[in-house]
């Protein structure tokens, strides 16, 4: 799949690709996995880039209700 960004914001690499994969996190001793996240990845530096809607979904899965109370 072709990237929407084209250039990596971290390293400037131009091989960004659109992927869909499970993203694992380490949060306060828990290891939540967010299934099938559509994101862009730079094979040069490993940077993973997500859009705002995806970030909100990831926050909901990783932080859950705890994040809502902190706002």
Q: In what order do the strands lie in the sheet with 48-49?
A: 17-24, 33-41, 48-49
Q: What is the CATH number of the domain that holds 23?
A: 3.10.20.860
For the stretch 23-68, pLDDT in tens is: 988 878 888 899 999 999 999 999 999 999 999 988 888 887 555 4
Could you tell me if residue 10 is inside a domain?
Answer: no
Could you tell me if residue 28 is inside a domain?
Answer: yes
- How many distinct structural domains can be found in the chain? 1
Predicted local distance difference test score (pLDDT) of residue 68: 47
- The band of 18, judged by pLDDT with boundaries at 50, 70 and 90, is very high
Model pTM score: 0.68
Locate tokens 């970030």: which residue?
55
Q: Domain span at residue 44?
A: 17-70
The residue with greater pLDDT, 65 or 9, is 9
What is the rounded CA–CA span in Å between residue 42 and residue 56? Answer: 21
């Amino acid at each position: 799949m072709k990237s929407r960004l084209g250039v990596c914001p971290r390293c400037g690499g131009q091989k960004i690709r659109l992927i869909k994969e499970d993203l694992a996190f380490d949060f306060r001793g828990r290891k939540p996995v967010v299934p099938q996240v559509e994101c862009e990845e730079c094979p040069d530096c490993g940077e993973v880039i997500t859009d705002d809607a995806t970030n909100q979904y990831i926050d909901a899965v990783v932080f859950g209700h705890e994040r809502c109370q902190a706002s």
